Amino acid sequence: MGNGIATGSTDIAALGARAMAMLDTLGAISDAPDNLTRLYLSPAHRRAAHQVRDWMEAAGCEAHIDAAGNVVGRYGPAEGPVLYCGSHIDTVIDAGRFDGSLGVVAAILAVEALAGEGRVLPFAIEILAFGDEENVRFPTSLSSTQAIAGGYDPRWLDVVDGDGVSLAQALREFGGDPDAVTGLARDPAQALGYLELHIEQGPVLERADLPVGVVTAIAAAWRADCVLRGQAGHAGTVPMGLRRDALSGAAEMIAAIEGIGAQHEGGVATVGRIAAVPGAVNVIPGEVRFSIDARAPGDAMLATMLAEIDAACKSIAERRGLAFTQAPFMRAPATPMAEPLQQAFAAAAHAIAGDAPLIPSGAGHDAVAMARLCPVGMLFVRCAGGISHNPAESITQADAGCAVAVLIEAIRRIAADQAAARG
């Protein structure tokens, strides 16, 4: 598999080399001097968006950057049925080069290959490079994807980042248009489906020694910002029994949250961000702010976990005389992948890679938002050690080529099915 043998008119080795070169280019576009950090609407996001737009045009698309900061490349008629394909180009802090970007690069290479075949498709293909999938800068939930999918929440325009910059202001500075984002919603009647290729961010494919897998569903997810208030005091004079130490209380809550995640099969719970004030070595912390990210394979299990987390935190706060508030800012339902798109990816993967296991996704993806618009399907690509959200994130050139070839073949099969259905 993957030794340069062309599949259809697809040269897997060449696709892999092209993909890795493009990912190296994107991986060098960062807001940070010494790591890859590219947050929504940042200067690096704008540079990366311009690069992606240029690639889309070179591949044969009409391309532009829309009011929400998405890069859109359309191949085929401006009207009529459309197949969407893409992922995100924003990253977490100190990120890997492949999370998100691989799906955008793969979509561009797929359109280039299909255009090169002179293939007349029974639909247009619209490549989408979303900008706010990681939701690191603003407390939103796939906002620029929801603009396309028709689920944009106008209240997002008023949320602010850590520097107090509102999303609306950041959009204007980026060259977007906050007044136009809700008008980006696509017509569900013309939306045939959405395909996303993404690194697995888990160990299944590496353990199975297989390059690609077909995603079955995406986990339900919830996120909140929490504030715990006690009383700041002198670290040397306040007896232990009289303290209302917000950081010790948070520590107990964090251990409880971790335990609840572990108790539920397939459930996960993470406190990824914490800050204690005033943050002096000899002052009992009076206030702590921390985040919670909880996920589960199904909505019912997530609801149970959230109830347990809420009860545990309130009980700890009451016993310690602390004031606890929780501000949820993201809730994503468990999202099943559409059967026909799973089958298209599976048939393409078996033709090219020999086998492709079915894998549930614990990570969230743009497909969660796009599922509001149309049927969605995802293909996972093996990544070393399952590592992601980490600069050690990596894939092989051979797997990259194989995955792009599978995406191209899946689109060919969807086109054949569409043509047959029309008779």
The yes or no reply on residue 363 touching ligand HGY (CB under 6 A) is yes
| Binding site partner of 100, from ligand HGY, Mn ion, none, Cβ cut-off 5-8 A by kind | Mn ion
# residues near Mn ion by CB under 5 A: 2
Closer residue to Mn ion (CB): 216 or 343 = 216
Q: Give min distance, CB of 172 to ligand HGY, in A.
A: 25
Q: Which of residues 261-280 bind ligand HGY (CB under 6 A)?
A: none
Q: Please, what sign has the CA dihedral across residues 209, 213, 219, 224?
A: positive
Closer residue to Mn ion (CB): 66 or 99 = 99
Nearest in space to 411 (alpha carbons), one of 215, 87, 218, 192: 192
The yes or no reply on residue 364 touching ligand HGY (CB under 6 A) is yes
Closer residue to Mn ion (CB): 99 or 308 = 99
| DSSP assigned state of 207 | H
Q: Give min distance, CB of 389 to ligand HGY, in A.
A: 7
The answer to whether 92 touches 389, Cβ cutoff 8 Å, is yes
Q: How many CB atoms lie within 10 A of CB 254?
A: 18
Closer residue to ligand HGY (CB): 194 or 324 = 194
Cα separation of 39 and 30, whole Å? 9
Q: Give min distance, CB of 362 to ligand HGY, in A.
A: 7
| Binding site partner of 393, from Mn ion, ligand HGY, none, Cβ cut-off 5-8 A by kind | none
Provide the b/e sequence for 298-334 (b: ≥16 CB within 10 Å): eeebbebbbebbeebbeebbeebebebeeeebeebeb
Which x/- pattern over 85-124 shows residues binding ligand HGY (rule: CB under 6 A)? ----------------------------------------
Q: Which of residues 122-161 bind ligand HGY (CB under 6 A)?
A: 133-134
Q: Give min distance, CB of 305 to ligand HGY, in A.
A: 16
Q: Give min distance, CB of 198 to ligand HGY, in A.
A: 9
Closer residue to ligand HGY (CB): 90 or 308 = 90
The yes or no reply on residue 393 touching Mn ion (CB under 5 A) is no
CA separation, residue 331 to residues 20, 157, 168, 222, 293 (Å): 34, 18, 22, 4, 10
Instruction: Write out the two tokens for 388.
Output: 């992601």
Q: Give min distance, CB of 383 to ligand HGY, in A.
A: 13
Terminus-to-terminus CA distance in the chain, angstroms?
A: 34
Is residue 17 classed as helix, strand or coil in its secondary structure? Answer: helix
Nearest in space to 156 (alpha carbons), one of 174, 139, 137: 139
- What is the DSSP secondary-structure string of 342-411? HHHHHHHHHHHTS---EEEESS--HHHHHTTTS-EEEEEE--GGG--SSTT----HHHHHHHHHHHHHHH
Cα separation of 83 and 89, whole Å? 20
# residues near ligand HGY by CB under 6 A: 4
Q: Which of residues 92-111 bind Mn ion (CB under 5 A)?
A: 99-100
Closer residue to Mn ion (CB): 233 or 386 = 386
Closer residue to Mn ion (CB): 157 or 367 = 367
The residues that touch Mn ion, with contacts defined as CB under 5 A, are: 99-100
Binding site for ligand HGY (CB under 6 A): 133-134, 363-364
